[in-house]
Amino acid sequence: MTDSIESRLKEDRRFVPPDEFQKRAHVTSHAEYTAMYRRSLDEPEAFWREHTQDLVFDKTWDRFHAWKLPHATFFEGAKLNASVSCLDRHLDGPRRTKAAIVFEGEPGDTRTLTYFELHREVVRLTAHLADLGVKAGDRVTIYMGMVPEAIVAMLACARLGATHSVVFGGFSAEALRDRINDCQAKVLLTQDAAWRRGSVVPLKQMADKALEECPTIEKVVVYRRVGDARAHVTMKEGRDVWWEDLMGRTASAASLELAKKPPAHDAEHPLFVLYTSGSTGKPKGVLHTTAGYLAGVHVTTKFVFDMKDSDLYWCTADIGWVTGHSYIVYGPLSCGAACLVYEGAPNFPDWSRFWQIIEKHGVSILYTAPTAIRAFIRAGDEWVQKADLSSLRLLGSVGEPINPEAWTWYHRVVGGGRCPIVDTWWQTETGSILLTTLPGACYSKPGSTGLPMFGVDIAVVKDKGEDCKANEGGKLVIRRPWPSMARTLFGDDERYKAAYWSQIPDVYFTGDGARRDEDGYFWVVGRIDDVLNVSGHRIGTAEIESALVSHPIVAEAAAVGKPDDLKGQALVVFVTLKNGVTADKNAKDKLAEHIDKEIGKFARPDQIRFTDALPKTRSGKIMRRLLKEVASGATEAKGDTSTLEDLGVLAKLRADED
Ligand code: WTA
């Protein structure tokens, strides 16, 4: 087996799609990909008309695209309902009885929802939400674990035209509160508790705490998942209702009628807000609209995952991140795909869990993150090899650069040497995958994220926007709007302009550094702004810093990343305590708990280092570049330290042992 892999990985480390895969793929040659790509740029309207035929537009567009940068519209004048595109359109044919969701609970329970059943649940919830007073344009927050009802909730909002804001279940009560208040949500959908590594995460309890300071929330719907005393649920009379009680009622005739035959919404009607980290302490509410977003995720799901009706597709992301939105819900369901949804941790009860799930259900496409792959490598091949993974035909990677070693292991041990790997680069703001290799059409190079997707004019440029030469490092930018791009930041259009469109005028800056090689393949090195990528989670350094300085013992704090074999980047914080506070373990514990409370456990620093002072320029700016070097263990400053106010601070920091 190894030999054949090695022969496929030719000297220049190109992996050519296997013949079997290629013959049956949606796109079968590099030339076909190139022709489609060219057409998507040169004749965009014709391209998107052809590839969005399935999406059920009630009315076609008057103007395909228009922009006055940094704002753009796509499919303007068209009308459609995203929930109808994902559900109703499958009910007239054989997909009616096909599995839409195959659910595997962490305790081992399983459930299948066909397209018919998913549609029925969504229609019911839509009617009840309408009875609770939710209307098109209202915001609804969803704070749930990985259960099918979270998907039902999203699609019910979309059906009504209410904008959903899903908050990852790992966020703390404070983080939830801020996100609810920022978008002024009217209703919260949550659950009693979620399973995580055999223990119970009390979501409702945390929601209650958040809601003490959320004046806009009128109703709370609580899905019963754990169902016993461990969830510690108290229901507030008049505000809270159990999901099952609500769904057991008879909805009003008018709401039921609306839910069954929902109105088509404008192409640019807001579909969802999703909060993500940026370079200031306040999270950004990335806003996506209906038609452009759906077009982007639909087309990429079909071509990048080579989705077929016979596939069982599993994206291991959480619904609380954009990958869950685009590639568990809207992309796959709009393609009529069967999606596996797993509730729990990859290593519960042990490291064989993922592989057993693949064997048990016959998963054919697996889409996961490099950080998970590296954790599996560390746990040992035997866990993988015990399972029969012959159902797999395609593998995907997302969220951070995949190192060639992890790529090769994924390919060899998980994919048995026969499955192409699609390394997909994209962002919350881009809505859909923008860089990858189509699996039956293009060879891949381990570590490279590949070629541009349809309609994406992407480049690597220098500071003023001039093109970099082949293999020269620079900023990754997008030079013209694409259908699934974020339209703004909720309630903060100025920040939208400043964050993405101001570095180089009229060009979207991704925040990533990259190079493009002589074959046109992109190699993304990671963030070059103040955002970290820890285990595939985006964490803003400013967010961590503002959480730390909100603790009474902290005078000043700086957060930086350092390379980490497992997590990609690890989070290191340098903290100056207030006078008279002892820098000891107790102080460290307090600060770690404070981060859990303010943001969530997933943002806990890997290292907290106390220092008497932080290195600063003469104008008082913290020199993060130096701190990064110190965090990575450098013994000498590589860069320019001429503006460092007090060189002694740096020497002292280096000498400080953690
Ligand atoms: C990083 C996740 C290299 C990148 C979909 C980007 C990647 C940020 C890749 C967005 C990849 C994502 N190769 N880096 N294949 N995919 N990234 O918004 O730094 O959570 O800017 O979206 O993740 O993270 P976000």
Class at the top of the CATH hierarchy for domain 531-655: alpha beta
- 361: its two tokens: 């259900």
Query: Which residues sit opposite 272 in a β-bridge?
Result: 164, 288
- Measure 501 CA to ligand 1 centroid, in angstroms: 18
For residue range 169-189, what is the model confidence (pLDDT) as tens digits? 999 999 999 999 999 999 999
Tell me the CA–centroid distance for residue 537 and ligand 1, in Å.
9
Over residues 234-266, the pLDDT tens digits come to 999 999 999 999 999 999 999 999 999 999 999
Q: How far is the CA of 400 from the centre of ligand 1 (A)?
A: 5
Predicted pLDDT of residue 3: 43
Nearest to 74 by CA among 37, 91, 49: 49
Question: pLDDT by residue (tens digit) across 611-633?
Answer: 988 888 777 778 888 898 889 88
User: Residue range 543-563: average pLDDT?
Assistant: 92
For the CA of 321, the closest atom of ligand 1 is 20
pLDDT band at 569 (very low <50, low <70, confident <90, very high): very high
Question: Of all residues in the chain, what percent carry a pLDDT higher than 90?
Answer: 85
| pLDDT score, position 33 | 98
Residue 237: which residues within 8 A CB-CB, separation 6 or more?
none
Between 655 and 476, the more confident residue is: 476
Closest protein CA for atom 6 of ligand 1? 427
d(C-alpha 197, C-alpha 215), whole Å: 34
Q: How far is CA 467 from CA 447, 464, 478, 636, in A?
A: 22, 9, 12, 33
Gap from CA of 388 to ligand 1 centroid (Å): 31
For residue 524, which atom of ligand 1 is closest to its CA?
3
Question: Which residues make Cβ contacts (< 8 Å) with residue 519, sequence separation at least 6?
Answer: none
Domain-wise residue ranges, the chain:
531-655
Q: Which atom of ligand 1 is nearest to the CA of 526?
A: 19
Q: Which amino acid is at 537?
A: H
pLDDT(425) > 90: yes
- Hey, whose CA ends up nearest to atom 1 of ligand 1? 400
Is pLDDT above 80 for 644? no
DSSP secondary structure letters along 52-94: TGGG--SB--SEEEEEETTEEEEEET-EE-HHHHHTGGGTTSG
- 66 pLDDT higher than 70: yes
Nearest to 305 by CA among 289, 290, 319, 326: 326
Atom 14 in ligand 1: residue holding the nearest Cα: 400
Residue minimizing CA distance to atom 25 of ligand 1: 427
Contacts of residue 428, defined as CB under 8 A and 6 or more positions apart, other chains included, come to 274, 276, 286, 321, 322, 486, 538
Per-residue pLDDT tens digits for 189-212: 999 999 999 999 999 999 999 999
Instruction: Give the C-alpha separation, 373 to 384, whole Å.
Output: 11
Q: How many Å lie between the centroid of ligand 1 and the Cα of residue 283?
A: 17
Pocket test for ligand 1, best of 422, 524, 535 (most atoms within 8 A of CB): 524
- Pick 579 or 657 by higher pLDDT: 579
Output the CA 607–ligand 1 centroid distance in Å: 23
Longest dimension (CA), the chain: 75
Report, as an integer, the average pLDDT of 274-282: 84
Q: Which amino acids bring their CB within 6 angstroms of ligand 1?
A: 276, 321-323, 398-401, 423-428, 449, 510-512, 524, 526-527, 533, 538
Output the pLDDT for position 633: 82
pLDDT at 565 over 50: yes
Q: What pTM value is reported for the model?
A: 0.92
* DSSP letter for each residue of 285-309: EEEEESHHHHHHHHHHHHHHTT--T
pLDDT tens for 466-517 read 999 999 999 999 999 999 999 999 999 999 999 999 999 999 999 999 999 9
* pLDDT for residue 12: 58
